[in-house]
Amino acid sequence: MKKTFKIGGIHPDDSKISSNAAVEQMPVGAEVCISMAQHLGAPATPVVSVGDKVKVGQVIGEPAGFISGFVHASASGTVKAVEPRPDILGNPVPHVVITVEGDEWEEGIVLANDPVPVPELSREEIIDRIRRAGVVGLGGASFPTHVKLNPPKEKKAEVLILNGTECEPFITSDDRLMRERPTGILTGAAIIMKALGVDLCYVGIEENKPEAIASMTEAAKNCSGIVIVKLAKKYPQGGEKQLIDAITGRQVPSGALPIDVGAVVQNVATAYAVYEAVCKNKPLISNIVTISGHSLASQHNYEVRIGTPVSSILEYAGVTLGDNVKVLSGGPMMGRCVSNPGATTVKANGAFTILTESETKRGVESACIRCAKCAAACPMGLEPWLLSRLFRAGDRNDELEKERVFDCIECGCCQFTCPANIPLLDSIRLGKADVMKIIRSRAK
């Protein structure tokens, strides 16, 4: 039996058509517009003013709380504006706009591509460097990495798990990173292991990425305590709880955190960012972005400076958007629709997927035939048909809570699999919001 998680899951067409597109550097544009809300938690406070000259890697936003993060200039030039601008979803967020002039970097940042050995640092020094480099979880949640590496005293990490599953269809940025820069990822892993005080690290990679498995396995020969684990292809294996289950067989209980079963999960791209932060003194100012879609003439992986407009990346990739297409930030299962392509990239943007209307059209809803495919597909062991029915009946929040609507990770397996085209996840999301309101009012 191939390793995978035990409950539910689906097998969507993985559409990894961009896997052979090697990472290309996308040139910096005339302007970058950098969001202050690139991490979970409070947005950073801008510390530059209009007219200031900034260098690449210079701090332009400082954390506004414990769960917050540093933000750095991704290009050198003059600050043109510090103001709220709509993000890709259309929500206004504070941004720092820089008119790009030259490519001048902060001192002390190592720009050479050659591997740099890990400096002798204490655990606290490592975590501080990661924090000062503005590293956040690049798997999608953007949780500040330094917080995750600082578990509460009474909880002990036993194992680090690197997430190289990339189970979302279309996306190949992690695949390319693992193929092209395995040593950096594993050096980052070793640094995180030191910070956590663990001597075991598993890297989970799905079997549809044989080249990544080969290159990571080869690189891991020089590392002690790092094991590359080949996993079956099944969505949503990249879910934190599913990945821990697949690799260790431990299931994080409802409402608990991975650390409660001794695990800390980091994305491979996060580990690479940690390597650059600690060994090269380089803050997180760029990321690898997949541009993919069956309707596109060519597929791409670009290393893009943070704060680049989505429209510029699409233009660079030769994509002309027609009417009635979907541009997704992320993949087709959990990605969010870009409503404002003029907005700019943030740290956690790993892909933009373009779907045509026919690829993404929702079918007409019909009656539930109680086939239970949704329940069989749910990786959390929930009954989506029941949750959706309770929500639609109205005023059944107690039952929704009892049926553990909060365990839903919004992976979309239920809705994907429903033969009656019932918008199960739409209802469940709304149900979660209702129950959340009740829990909040109870706490008061």
Partner 1 sequence: MSKLLISPSPHVHSVHSTRSLMRDVLIALCPAVIVSILLYGLPFVLILAVSIGASVLTEYLIERYILGRESTVSDFSAAVTGCLLALNLPPCAPWWIAVVGSVFAIGVVKMTFGGLGQNIFNPAIAARVFLLVSFPVIMTDWAVPDAFSGATPLGAIAEGGAAPVPGFKELFLYKVGGSAGEASALALLAGFVYLLVRRVITVTIPVAVLGTVAVFSGILHIVNPELYTGPLFNLFNGGLLLGAIFMATDYVTSPMTVKGQIIFGAGIGLITMLIRYFGAYPEGVSFAILIMNCTVPLINKYCKPRRFGEVRK
Buried b or exposed e, range 25-59, using 16+ CB within 10 angstroms: ebebbebbbbbbbbbbbebbebebeeebebbbbbb
323, 292, 274: which is closest to 148 by C-alpha?
274
Q: How many C-beta atoms lie closer than 10 Å to residue 188's C-beta?
A: 28
How far apart CA 292 and CA 315 sit, in angstroms, is 13
The answer to whether residue 257 forms part of the interface with partner 1 (CB under 8 A) is no
Quickly list DSSP for 356-422: EHHHHPPPPP-------HHHHH-TT---HHHHHHHHHHSS-HHHHHHTTGGG-----HHHHH-TT--
Write out the binding residues for partner 1, residues 154-193 only, by CB under 8 A.
169
Least Å distance, CB 21 to partner 1, is 21
Tokens of 60: 């332009």
With beta carbons less than 8 A apart as the criterion, state whether 290 and 24 touch. no
Residue from the set 25, 295, 298, 421 that interacts with partner 1 by CB under 8 A: 421
Residue from the set 232, 252, 257, 436 that interacts with partner 1 by CB under 8 A: 252
331, 296, 381: which is closest to 12 by C-alpha?
331
By CB under 8 A, how many residues form the interface with partner 1? 64
CA max distance for the chain: 64
Residue with Cβ nearer partner 1 (214 or 386): 386
Residue from the set 412, 432, 434, 435 that interacts with partner 1 by CB under 8 A: 412
Q: What is the identity of the amino acid at 40?
A: L
Least Å distance, CB 326 to partner 1, is 4
Q: How many residues does the chain have?
A: 444
Residue with Cβ nearer partner 1 (73 or 310): 310
326, 410, 375: which is closest to 7 by C-alpha?
375
Residue with Cβ nearer partner 1 (102 or 381): 381
The answer to whether residue 416 forms part of the interface with partner 1 (CB under 8 A) is yes
Distance of alpha carbon 231 from the chain centroid: 19
Residue from the set 121, 359, 399, 436 that interacts with partner 1 by CB under 8 A: 359
With beta carbons less than 8 A apart as the criterion, state whether 54 and 105 touch. no
Residue with Cβ nearer partner 1 (174 or 403): 403
How far apart CA 340 and CA 95 sit, in angstroms, is 15
φ and ψ of 24, to 5 deg: -110, 145
| Site map (CB under 8 A) of partner 1, residues 296-335, x = contact | -------------------------xxxxxxxx---xxxx
Residue from the set 375, 389, 406, 436 that interacts with partner 1 by CB under 8 A: 375
Residue from the set 112, 221, 297, 362 that interacts with partner 1 by CB under 8 A: 362
Residue from the set 84, 92, 102, 363 that interacts with partner 1 by CB under 8 A: 363
How far apart CA 32 and CA 105 sit, in angstroms, is 15
How far apart CA 72 and CA 87 sit, in angstroms, is 18
Least Å distance, CB 177 to partner 1, is 24
The answer to whether residue 251 forms part of the interface with partner 1 (CB under 8 A) is yes
The answer to whether residue 17 forms part of the interface with partner 1 (CB under 8 A) is no
Least Å distance, CB 256 to partner 1, is 7
Least Å distance, CB 209 to partner 1, is 20
How far apart CA 303 and CA 276 sit, in angstroms, is 14
Least Å distance, CB 139 to partner 1, is 16
Residue from the set 341, 396, 399, 436 that interacts with partner 1 by CB under 8 A: 341
How far apart CA 54 and CA 303 sit, in angstroms, is 21
Least Å distance, CB 283 to partner 1, is 31
Interface residue list for partner 1 (CB under 8 A): 7, 10, 12-13, 169, 241, 245, 251-254, 256, 321-328, 332-339, 341, 355, 357, 359-360, 362-363, 366-373, 375, 378-383, 385, 404, 407, 410, 412, 415-417, 419-421, 425-426, 429
